[in-house]
Structure 1
């Protein structure tokens, strides 16, 4: 059986980073380092007070530590890893772009509906799940179906996402216009000499 550290290192890079950010955000909330009011998505505050961080931070807070958090976190982790190792294998930049676009909800046929059912059971708002389903369907249509029917890929992964993945030096990119940074993730590179001859 592998250790937790080995399991963590075996996770694909985007799913691993997203999981860590979700855990860190929830842990910081648990220790009362911030109030949820400062990270929840409010278009009124984004547009009128230019609180642009709200466009990103709301995706990392799933819920306070609870059964609901555990189920939601495990579902996202499981399907995120399956998708990143399956449909998006060797396409880390494309997977990151899909996440940025907000289409995480297309990770499985039943995942969006399971999340919706979970929110109904726990009496949570349904709007975020419905928006996720819409975003997932829009991404799938414009990134997959429309180009297959002869149309242009409107949601093609931008060059800056490919550069970000190449800079990280994590994951693989099958069709990237950018070469991976050979020095990414390397703190020391020394010549190795065997001492026992």
Structure 2
């Protein structure tokens, strides 16, 4: 349980809900019908849970294991790097993305009762866009740049399930890219202007909190991932290196740094600079010397 508590809250909750909904259906303890997306049941019978549960049924068999692995790695990396553990902001981002998937599913219409796969592709695409330099291995056979990985998955969906299944996956990619454009590309092109609808509602912030105020990163610093772990995980930036030259968390003046040559004490770089700024120590004189 202690290891589970170490996981970021959004990742832990969403992956946990997927297994909570999926396993009873796999074990045939409950029927799948009450959880699927049926717009008529939502509007006429007010079965509002059907707006959420279709995103939580992960299927069965070997694909469930691979998909759960991809979902976990994508969510975990996004929550810790791009969203900087800002729980309310990431939760609101997922709500917006799922809402876009629902709208496109209804408008196409795709008649998609289960929406887990579009959500998986949305998370994968958002991760790929925020880690554009990462390398991803597909079955250990093909190495791809991260932005191409979601489209490789769509190609596999086309081969395995046909055009309809691939189109469902594309709805997730489109929804995630709309969010990425609004949250990252648009502010970058408009003097860091933030669109108001991207700000989490106050009740969500007061309920979940918004975690550390770490600025989001959009460059790849985490390890690449695909259907198996990859070699070539991005390294952290060395102290004194040029910003942006390596992945990982950037060091700032407020980051605790172990003092060189010390006994393991911890102090900030600013403190060390302040303590040495006004003193230059000479060789000193031996006792008895003039």
Which TM-score tier does this pair reach, normalised by the shorter chain?
A: 0.7 to 0.9
User: CA contact under 8 A between 1:26 and 1:63: conserved in structure 2?
Assistant: yes
RMSD of aligned Cα (Å): 2.3
d(CA) in 1 for partners of 2:173, 2:152: 11
| Rounded Cα–Cα distance in structure 1 between residues aligned with 2:198 and 2:84 | 18
Number of aligned residue pairs: give it. Answer: 166
Taking structure 2 as the reference length, the TM-score comes to 0.51
Q: Which has the higher strand share?
A: 2
Match of 2:187 in 1: 147
- In structure 1, the partner of 2:173 is 133
Determine the C-alpha separation between the residues in 1 that align with 2:66 and 2:199.
Answer: 32
Partner of 1:76: 71
| Counterpart contact for 2:58–2:68, Cα < 8 Å | yes
Greater shift in the superposed pair: 16-25 or 39-48:
39-48
CA deviations on 1:128-165 (whole Å, 9 max, x unpaired) are 31211111011112222223333551322222221221
Query: Which stretch shifts more, 17-26 or 106-115?
Result: 106-115
CA contact (8 A) 1:112 1:129 kept: no
The corresponding residue for 2:213 is: 174
Which structure's CA Rg is the greater one?
2
Residue from 194, 199, 204 that aligns with 1:156: 199
Residues 13/32 of structure 1: CA separation in 2 closer, same or farther (3 Å cut)? same
Asked whether the 8 Å contact 2:155–2:166 carries over to 1, the reply is no
Which runs of at least 4 in structure 1 moved beyond 6 Å after TM superposition?
none
Structure 1, residues 55-92: CA drift from partner, whole Å, max 9, x if none?
A: 1011111112x111000000000111111111111322
Taking the aligned partners of 1:127 and 1:41, their CA distance within structure 2 comes to: 17
* Residue in structure 2 matched with residue 34 of structure 1 by the alignment: 30
- Where structure 1 has 5 or more consecutive residues not aligned to the other structure, the ranges are 176-197
The 3 A distance-change label for structure 1 pair 116 and 149 is same
Among residues 165, 177, 187, which one is paired with 2:208 in the alignment?
A: 165
Q: TM-score, normalised by structure 1?
A: 0.73
Equivalent residues of 1:120, 1:126 under 8 A apart? yes
